[in-house]
A and B are shown apart, each in its own frame.
Chain A
Amino acid sequence: MEKSFFFKNADNCRLFGHLFRPDDTPGTTGIIVCQPIAEERCRARRMFVNMARWLSNHGYPVLFFDYYGEGESEGDFEESDVDTRVSDVLYALKVLRENVPVQKIGLIGLRLGALFAELAALQEKNIDFNILINPVVNGHAYLQEWLRFNLASQFVAYGRILRNRENLVQGLMNGEQIETEGFILSREFYQQLAATDLIADSGINTPVSLVELKDDINKQDRDIMVFASSCRSKSRLIDHSVLRKTFDWKTWKYTNPPQNLFELVTDLVMKVNKQNGDCCRI
Chain B
Amino acid sequence: METVVEFSNTDMQRLVGILHVPTQDDSSRKTGVIMINSGLEDKVGVHRLYVKVARRLCMEGKYVLRFDGHGVGDSEGELAQVSKVEKYLSIENGIFVNDALCALEFIRKRIKLDRIFLLGLCGGGVTSMLAASRDCRIDGLILLATPVCLEALELEGKINPLEAHERMSTWRKKLSSFKTWYKFFTLRMDYSYLFKMINVHILHSLKSGPACNEEIGRPLNQRFVEAFLVYTSNRGRVLFCFPENDLITTEFRHKFGRYISGLAESVCEVLTFKNSNHEFHSIDAQRNLMDTISKWLGPS
Contact = CB atoms under 8 A, between A and B. Distances in A.
Given A156-B277, A157-B275, A182-B49, A46 B72 contact: yes
Contact of B281 (A14, A153, A177, A257): A153
B280 interface: yes
Contact of A179 (B43, B48, B83, B283): B283
A39 B81 contact: no
Interface stretch (A126-134, A230-238, A248-256, A271-279): A248-256
A135 interface: no
B47 A5 contact: no
Given A71-B48, A157-B277, A4 B40 contact: no
Interface in A152-167: 153, 156-158
A98 B144 CA distance: 42
A42 B4 contact: no
A142 interface: no
Given A177-B283, A252-B84, A255-B87, A77 B275 contact: no
Contacts of A46: 40, 42, 72-73
Given A42-B46, A72-B18, A252-B84, A157 B245 contact: yes
A252 B46 CA distance: 12
A45 interface: yes
A6 interface: yes
Contact of B73 (A49, A153, A256): A49
B227 to A, nearest CB: 25
A181 B283 contact: no
A18 interface: yes
Nearest to A45: B42
A82 interface: no
Given A42-B41, A72-B51, A182-B286, A256 B81 contact: yes
A182 B46 contact: yes
B84 A253 contact: yes
A177 B83 CA distance: 37
Contacts, number: 80
A153 B4 contact: no
A213 interface: no
Nearest to B75: A49
Given A42-B41, A46-B42, A72-B51, A4 B74 contact: yes
Interface in A23-73: 38-39, 42, 45-46, 49, 70-72
Contacts of B276: 157
A182 B47 CA distance: 5
A77 B48 contact: yes
B282 A153 contact: yes
A203 B42 CA distance: 37
A157 B47 CA distance: 18
B284 to A, nearest CB: 9
A181 B281 CA distance: 6
Contacts of B73: 45-46, 49
B135 to A, nearest CB: 27
A100 interface: no
Interface string B21-41: 000000000000000000011
Interface in B1-22: 2-4, 6, 16, 18
B44 interface: yes
Interface in B68-126: 72-74, 78-79, 81, 83-84, 87
A179 B41 contact: no
A72 B2 contact: yes
B279 interface: yes
Contacts of A183: 47-48
A184 interface: yes
Contacts of A253: 84
Nearest to B80: A256
A272 B154 CA distance: 47
Contacts of B3: 6
A208 B286 CA distance: 41
Contacts of A6: 2-4
A42 B281 contact: no
A42 B286 contact: no
Given A45-B73, A153-B281, A181 B84 contact: no
B99 to A, nearest CB: 15
Nearest to B188: A160
Given A6-B4, A156-B245, A255-B84, A38 B74 contact: no
The 5 closest A-B pairs by CB, nearest first: A182-B47, A182-B281, A256-B81, A157-B275, A4-B4
Interface of B: 2-4, 6, 16, 18, 40-49, 51, 72-74, 78-79, 81, 83-84, 87, 245, 275-277, 279-283, 286
Interface of A: 2, 4-6, 14, 16, 18, 38-39, 42, 45-46, 49, 70-72, 77, 153, 156-158, 177, 179, 181-184, 252-253, 255-257
Given A46-B73, A72-B51, A255-B84, 17 more contacts: A4-B74, A5-B4, A6-B3, A39-B47, A42-B41, A45-B44, A45-B73, A70-B48, A77-B48, A153-B282, A157-B275, A157-B277, A179-B283, A181-B47, A184-B283, A252-B84, A255-B79
